[in-house]
A and B are shown apart, each in its own frame.
Chain A
Amino acid sequence: MSIFTTFFPLGWQHYLMGGAFIGAGAGLLFILTGRIGGMSTVFSSTWSFVVNKPFFQQARFTESRNWRLVYALGLILGALVWWLGFAGGVAESTAVPVWQLLLGGFFVGYGARLGNGCTSGHGICGLGSMQLPSLFAVLTFMATAFLTANIIARIAS
Chain B
Amino acid sequence: MNTSNMTRPRMLATLAAGALFGFGLSISTMIRPEVVLSFLRFSDFGLMLVMGGAVVVTLMAYKLAPRLLKQPLLGDIFHKHPSVWNRDTAVGAALFGIGWGLCGVCPGPAIAGLGAGNWNLLWALAGIALGALAQGLRAK
Contacts and interface: CB of A to CB of B under 8 A. Distances in A.
Interface residues of B, number: 119
Contacts, number: 545
Chain A interface helix/strand/loop/mixed: helix
Given A9-B44, A47-B133, A19 B51 contact: yes
B89 A116 contact: yes
Contacts of B53: 15-20, 22-23
Given A19-B57, A100-B102, A141 B94 contact: yes
Contact of A94 (B33, B44, B102): B33
Chain B interface helix/strand/loop/mixed: helix
Contacts of A22: 20-21, 24-25, 28, 50, 53-54, 57
A40 B17 contact: no
Contact of A39 (B72, B92, B108, B118): B108
Contact of B34 (A23, A35, A67, A94): A94
B1 A75 contact: no
A146 B94 CA distance: 11
A53 B128 contact: no
Interface of B: 1-2, 5-6, 10-11, 13-35, 37, 40-47, 49-62, 65, 69, 71-85, 88-108, 110-121, 123-137, 139-140
